[in-house]
Every structure is written in C-alpha cells, then in structure tokens.
Structure 1
Amino acid sequence: MFRDRKFIAILIAGTLFLAQVSNGGDKKEEKVYELIYKDVQLIKQTLLRLENKINKNQEELIRLQKNMAHWEELLTGIRLEQASLKDKQEEIPLIYQAILEKLGSLYLDLQNTNQEIATLKRILSPPEEEQGEIAPPEQGPQKEEVQPKEPPPEKMPLPPDLSPQEIFNLAREDYLKGHYDLAIEGFKIYKDNFPESPLADNASYWIGESLYSQEKYEEAVNQFNELILNYPFSDKIASAYLKKGLSLLQMGKQEEALTVFKLLVSKFPLEEETKVAQEKIKELTEKK
C-alpha cells in the first residue's frame, strides 16, 4: 500500500515536471518566432525606404539629364554665336582699314581742291596797284611767246663705291649734324636710285623733316603729302601726319592743321604721335 502511494506520488511528480518542461519549451519557441517576425518586418520597412530613395534618385537623375541636355543646347548656341562673332571681328579691321584709306583719299582730294581754289583766287584777284593803273591803248595783234617746257628733274647721280645702306646712313648723319641741305641731297639720291627699297619711305620722310627744320614749311607739307600718298603702309605715316599738322600750324593754317590732327587721332589711336596731336587739338579748340 505504502509502495503504491509512493509510486503514485512519483508518477504525479514526474507528470508535473514533464508538463513544466513542455510548457517552457513552447514559450521559448514562441519567443524565437516573435523575434524572427519582428526582424522580417524591420527588413521590409528598410527595403521600402530604400525603394523610395531609389525612386527619388532616379527622378533626380532624369531631371539632371534633362538639364544637361538643355545646357548642352545653350552651349552649342553660344559656340555658334562666338564663331559668328569671330568671323565678324576678323572683318572689322579690313572694313576699318578701308574706311581709313577712303578718309585719307578724301582728305588729300580736299587739300588739292583747297590749293586749286587758292591758286584761282590769286589769279582772279590782281594786286591793287595794278587795278589803279590805266590800261595802255590796244595795239595790233601780237604773237604769244611760247615758253619752253622745263625738263623733268634729272636723277641724282649715285656716289661710287657706296652701298645703299651707306648712302642712307651718311644722309642720316648729315641730318643729325644739322647739315640739312646735304641730308636732303643724300636722301633724294637714295630714294631716286632705290625706289623699291624698304627704306625708301624713310628717306622720303627725312627729306620732309629736313625741310621742316629749315622752316620751309610749305615744301615740308608737300613732302609729307607725297609720303602719305605713295607709302600708305609706311611706319612713318603717323609721324608724317603729325609733322604735316605742325607745318600747317607754322604757316598759320590752324583749321587745316586741326583737320590733320583729328585724322591722325582717328587713324592711329595707339601711336605716340597721337598724344601730341590730342594736345594740339585741345589747344586749338580752346582758342576758338
């Protein structure tokens, strides 16, 4: 009897122990499932956020691509405009040079016209003393005396045993020493015998400078006109315009001098002679 009770007690205790063990295992398994479920949900949420970011980035990328295409079109248009402007800029110096040449030609024509008008005025206006004289009685027809034509000036002889450069240098030394007549003669010899030389325009200019130094201003003006007309691309053109204007000032022809100075400023704005011309323009303008 006692043994039966003890057995039953042991059986009950074993059953309770098994029940507890079984109950605890179920709870652990339930906790594992809950943790896995939570991790899965967290992963899903993370994936969803990443998908949203990817979609936004794709939209931003598309927008940037469209902007890039737009900027490429603008850049292409700018390049075409720059090419067109470059072509036009290359044409500007040619047009400017043509205008300057035309202005120079018109100015020379104006100068020649003024000289012709002055000559006609002197011819048509005889001196006052002659106007008061009584004309002598008319006589029979007289034969007009034919004046012989002056022969053209002969080319100055070329000094023997001298190279063209030596001739030019000797004439330049004479100018620097103040021997202006010798300088003029030397430069004329050089210019007459070597008209195609690169220094022919310089020789022509220094003839004008020598005449200016001798205060032969009218002859100097004619010499500078010859240089401007015959050597329009000489490196002495700006200096010739300046000295021509100064010669006209010395002759009392202020308006003509002012015109020459303005022409110099417009044609050669970057030359050193232009600064002197601008000062003279200011002086002449203030005197008016």
Structure 2
Amino acid sequence: MTTRRSRYLPALPALAVLLVLSGLQPARAGVFDDDEARRQVRDLSAQTNERLDTLTKGQFDLVNQIQSLREENARLRGQVETLTFELESAKKRQQDFYIDLDGRLRKLETQPAAADGGEGKPADEAKPAEPVKKVVDPAAESRDYEAALNFFKANRIKEAAAAFESFGRNYPDSTLAPNAQYWLGNAYYTLRDCKKSIDAYRVVVAKWPQHAKASDSLIGVATCQHDIGDAKGAKATYESILAKYPGSSAAATAKQRIKK
C-alpha cells in the first residue's frame, strides 16, 4: 500500500502545476483582450481628434477666405463708385468745355457779320434782290439757343434735344443753326439713341460742310458707329475726316482712334 502511494506522489506536483497553468490561461487572455481594446480606443480617439483638427482647420480657412472675399468685394465696390464719380465729373467737364468753346466760336462768327453790316455799299454794287426771308428777332434767336444750351448743361437732355430741334425749325438760316444741329446730335448720343444722333450729325456735314462743326460731327458719327459695333463704318468715317479735314483737330482724333 505504501509502495503504491509513493509511486503516485511524484505525479502530484506536476498535476498541480498543470492545474495552475490551466487556470491562468483565461485570466491572461482576458488581460490581453483589455489591453487591445484600450489600444484600439486610443487609436480611434487619435484618429477622431485628427479628423476634428482637420475639419476645424478647414473651417477656419473657409472663414478666412470668405472674409477676404468680402474685403475684396468692398474694395472693388469702392473703386467702382470712385470711377463712376470720376466719369460723371469728366462728362460734366466735357460738357462745360464744349459749351464754352461753342460760345467762343459764336463770337468769332458774329464779328465779321457785324463789321460788314456797318459798312455801306454803293447802289451799283448792290447784290441782286433775294427772296424775302422771314424776319427773325435776333434777341429771341439768341435767347432760344442759350436756353437749349442751358438745358444740356443742366443735364436735362430730353429738354435740350427738343429745344435744339425747335431751334432748327424756327431759325433754319441762323448762323447758329450748324451749332444747334451739332448739339442736337450730342443730345441724342447722351440719350443713347445712336440712330438719331448719326442722322443729326450728318445733317451738319451735308448742309454746312465747311463749318467748324462739320468735322466734329463726323467724329460723333464714328463714335456712334463704334458704339453700335459697326467698326468698319467707324473706320471709313475716320478716313473720310482725314481726307476732307486733314488740318482739323478732328483729324488728329481720327488718327489716334484708327491706330487703336
């Protein structure tokens, strides 16, 4: 009996070790599973934070871009307002310049007429009788012309156009008729009615080809043609100015515009 018990005694420690090891395996596996889960949670948290950082940075960049666009838009709006003001001021100065120039030309045109009127001529040198013309009140003529010009100067363009048309009908033989017709073309151009503007300018060229306003009227015709997209017609008009009025200021303008 004792011999049999002693035979099994060496096996007991080994069995105990096996039992202990078998009990430790699940516990150790559980520890490893928790560590892996925590690692995955940390990795997921890090990825999430990284994505949040990326999204946040993208939002900040977008906000900065929007702000930059707003500032740029405000700057451009300011430039447009400034350019609009400068353009209106330039148009006003141009109108004043034309009106002043027109007044100076009228003074020069009326001086020879006044000088001739003061000199008497012998009866045998008198010119043949001419058809009786409508008696015109010079004061009314000058007053109507000035009224039309004042409409234009005040930027009351529709009233100016009507007044210049009326002047042309009432005073067809006036020395101011070419000027009035020219200003009628300017008025229609300001109203963006290029067809009527061209027609008005061409009347000046047809009826008073030697008048100072004839070459200026052709410049007006070419400008209208350019605005309506008739580049070929505008070039032909500029060439006509160079041919008919080579020494005029209009010719200098025509040369510059042909080069463009």
Please, what TM-score do these two structures have when normalized by structure 1? Answer: 0.49
What are the equivalent positions in structure 2 for 1:207-222 lying under 5 Å apart?
207=169, 221=178
What are the equivalent positions in structure 2 for 1:52-91 lying under 5 Å apart?
52-91=46-85
Query: What is the CA–CA distance in structure 2 between the aligned matches of 1:41 and 1:64, rounded to whole Å?
Result: 34
Query: What is the CA–CA distance in structure 2 between the aligned matches of 1:22 and 1:276, rounded to whole Å?
Result: 116
Which residue pairs with 2:24 in the alignment?
30
Which residue pairs with 1:193 in the alignment?
none
What is the RMSD computed on CA atoms of the aligned residues? 5.1
Please list the CA deviations of residues 56-79 of structure 1 after superposition, one character each: whole Å capped at 9, or x if unmatched.
345434533543443243133123
Please tell me whether the aligned partners of residues 225 and 233 of structure 2 are also in contact (alpha carbons under 8 angstroms): no
2:203 to 221, 243, 248: 243
Query: What is the CA–CA distance in structure 2 between the aligned matches of 1:73 and 1:53, rounded to whole Å?
Result: 30
1:259–1:223 distance in 2 versus 1, CA, 3 Å: closer
1:284 to 237, 241, 245: 241
Structure 1 residue 45 corresponds to structure 2 residue 5? no
Counterpart of 2:217, as a letter, is V
2:216 to 256, 259, 282: 259
What are the equivalent positions in structure 2 for 1:79-118 lying under 5 Å apart?
79-91=73-85, 94-116=88-110, 118=112
The unaligned stretches of length 5 or more in structure 1 are 131-149, 154-195
Which residue pairs with 1:183 in the alignment?
none
Please tell me whether the aligned partners of residues 204 and 213 of structure 2 are also in contact (alpha carbons under 8 angstroms): no
> Offset at 1:115?
1.6
Query: What is the CA–CA distance in structure 1 between the aligned matches of 2:242 and 2:222, rounded to whole Å?
Result: 15
1:67–1:198 distance in 2 versus 1, CA, 3 Å: closer
Query: What is the CA–CA distance in structure 1 between the aligned matches of 2:161 and 2:13, rounded to whole Å?
Result: 129
> Offset at 1:241?
2.4
Please tell me whether the aligned partners of residues 238 and 271 of structure 1 are also in contact (alpha carbons under 8 angstroms): no
Please tell me whether the aligned partners of residues 161 and 188 of structure 2 are also in contact (alpha carbons under 8 angstroms): no
> Offset at 1:81?
1.7
Query: What is the CA–CA distance in structure 1 between the aligned matches of 2:39 and 2:180, rounded to whole Å?
Result: 99
Please tell me whether the aligned partners of residues 258 and 281 of structure 1 are also in contact (alpha carbons under 8 angstroms): no
Counterpart of 2:200, as a letter, is A
Bigger radius of gyration: 1
Please tell me whether the aligned partners of residues 222 and 237 of structure 2 are also in contact (alpha carbons under 8 angstroms): no
Query: What is the CA–CA distance in structure 1 between the aligned matches of 2:80 and 2:219, rounded to whole Å?
Result: 30
What are the equivalent positions in structure 2 for 1:135-214 lying under 5 Å apart?
152=137, 204=166, 207=169
Query: What is the CA–CA distance in structure 2 between the aligned matches of 1:116 and 1:202, rounded to whole Å?
Result: 20
Please tell me whether the aligned partners of residues 241 and 261 of structure 1 are also in contact (alpha carbons under 8 angstroms): yes
